[in-house]
């Protein structure tokens, strides 16, 4: 099996590449390195069945030879990144997804779209089943990501029904693990770096908002199960354990053995108040559920940052960056 992974040099993409190679796939990884990094793939041995193509998914894709599957992950994914790159994010979700679908159609490859829990916006239904249409603001600060992914889902559906492409849509909830950029502004990386540096953990909005954090190893396993199934989706992949940001801060302080204080900052505009996946569909149709608890996964992240000797200041800058747009 030869597969293409778009966004292969990113946090999730690089873990998926590892998982696919370990399963004996030939992998072509495509990335424009806008938010990804070659460092995330540097550990691959020279003999690995891996080929890297530096290209932008907004350009038509040309890859010679047979391709049996396309995992379309490419996109800025952290709120900090996509608010800095609004046009690019919309184009990647729109033009990039169209190009990836055209490519999958031409190769007669199965196509997996990595969509997001952000399609549910600031949800009014808890937990969120796939049948919920969401409560998303089309012009708010998060809209470039939310609407790009909603458009990508619609485009994927159109190619399925009008061009006969074999597709599956997967909605990913918050994912964490090693290789998240220390300054990507996301809460797990930011708190981990702050805790290690003994700096205050920047809790927005009192930390009463919730997320559901899933370890990247569980998500890569779920992506491949969805790809190997005959589901069209959408199917949620995420950890159904709902955690407030305040609880997460406490867990990270314990994992890092840190006595950092917390600093309260205002809640960014349109920051969803609750988010928790209903994973019944993945459980019944894919036999999938997460196996790594936060108590097991967070120490792994801390260890990763200890080893990579990340610099503390960068996370603080990230937390203060785009999120200045507060209520
Ligand atoms: N968050 C926080 N402090 C930070 C970064 C994020 O309290 O330094 C909060 C943020 O407001 C949100 C949650 O953590 O409610 C998750 O944020 P993240 O950017 O990781 O992901 P997303 O908002 O896309 O789920």
CATH number at residue 229: 3.40.50.720
Kindly report the CA angle at 183 between 180 and 188, in degrees rounded to 5? 55
Nearest CA to ligand 1 atom 13: 187
Asked whether 80 and 318 are in contact (CB, 8 A), the reply is yes
Residues of the domain holding 42:
2-179+212-240+273-291
Is 174 close to ligand 1, i.e. is its CB under 6 Å away?
A: yes
SS3 of residue 277 by DSSP? strand
% of the chain at pLDDT higher than 70:
94
Q: Is residue 192 part of a domain?
A: no
Q: Ligand 1: distance of its center to the CA of 126 in Å? A: 19
CA of 54 to the centre of ligand 1 (A): 30
Ligand 1 atom nearest residue 275's Cα: 25
Q: From 80, 81, 211, 239, give the residue whose CB has the most ligand 1 atoms within 8 Å, as the site to mutate.
A: 211
Q: What angle do CA 175, 286, 273 make, to 5 degrees?
A: 35
Ligand 1 atom with the shortest distance to the CA of 142: 24
Q: What is the pLDDT of residue 322?
A: 34
Please tell me the number of Cα atoms within 13 Å of 176 on its side-chain side. 30
Whether 46 is in a domain gets the answer yes
257 within some domain = no
**C-alpha to C-alpha distance for 38 and 40, rounded to whole angstroms:** 5
The answer as to whether 40 is a domain residue is yes
Q: Is residue 228 part of a domain?
A: yes
Q: Is 116 in the pocket of ligand 1 (CB under 6 A)?
A: no
The answer to whether residue 84 is domain-embedded is yes
pLDDT of 231: 98
**List of the chain residues with pLDDT < 70:** 309-327
Sign of CA dihedral 9, 13, 18, 21: negative
194 lines ligand 1 (CB under 6 A): no
Could you list the active site residues?
Answer: 145
Strands 201-204 and 26-31 turn out to be: unpaired
Tell me whether the omega of the peptide bond preceding residue 234 falls within 30 degrees of 0, making it cis. yes
66 within domain boundaries: yes
Inside any domain, residue 285: yes
Q: How far, rounded to the nearest angstrom, does the alpha carbon of residue 264 sit from its chain's CA centroid?
A: 26
Question: Is the peptide bond between 238 and the residue preceding it cis, with omega within 30 degrees of 0?
Answer: no
- Number of independent structural domains in the chain: 1
């Amino acid at each position: 099996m030869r597969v293409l992974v778009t966004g292969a040099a990113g946090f999730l993409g690089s873990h998926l590449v590892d998982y696919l190679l370990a399963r004996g796939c030939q992998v072509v990884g495509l990335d424009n390195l806008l938010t990804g990094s070659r460092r995330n793939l540097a550990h691959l041995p020279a003999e690995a069945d891996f080929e890297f193509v530096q290209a932008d998914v907004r350009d038509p894709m040309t890859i010679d030879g047979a391709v049996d599957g396309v995992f379309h992950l490419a996109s800025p994914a952290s709120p900090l990144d996509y608010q800095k790159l609004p046009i690019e994010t919309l184009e990647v979700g729109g033009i990039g997804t169209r190009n990836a679908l055209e490519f999958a159609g031409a190769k007669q490859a199965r196509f997996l779209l990595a969509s997001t829990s952000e399609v549910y916006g600031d949800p009014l239904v808890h937990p969120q089943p796939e049948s919920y249409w969401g409560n998303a603001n089309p012009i708010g600060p998060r809209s470039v990501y939310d609407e790009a992914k909603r458009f990508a889902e619609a485009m994927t559906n159109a190619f399925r029904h009008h061009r006969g492409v074999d597709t599956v849509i997967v909605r990913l909830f918050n994912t964490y693990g090693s290789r998240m950029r220390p300054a990507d502004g996301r809460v797990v990386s930011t708190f981990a770096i702050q805790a290690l540096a003994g700096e205050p953990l920047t809790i927005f909005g009192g930390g009463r908002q919730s997320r559901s954090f899933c370890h990247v190893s569980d998500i890569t396993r779920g992506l491949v199960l969805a790809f190997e199934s005959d589901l069209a989706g959408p199917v949620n992949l995420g950890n159904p354990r709902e955690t407030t940001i305040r609880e997460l801060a406490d867990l990270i302080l314990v994992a890092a053995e840190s006595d950092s204080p917390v600093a309260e900052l205002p809640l960014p505009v349109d920051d969803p108040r609750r988010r928790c996946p209903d994973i019944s569909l993945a459980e019944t149709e894919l036999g999938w559920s997460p196996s790594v608890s936060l108590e097991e996964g967070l120490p792994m992240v801390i260890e990763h940052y200890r080893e990579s000797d990340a610099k503390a200041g960068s996370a603080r800058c990230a937390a203060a960056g785009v999120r200045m747009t507060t209520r």
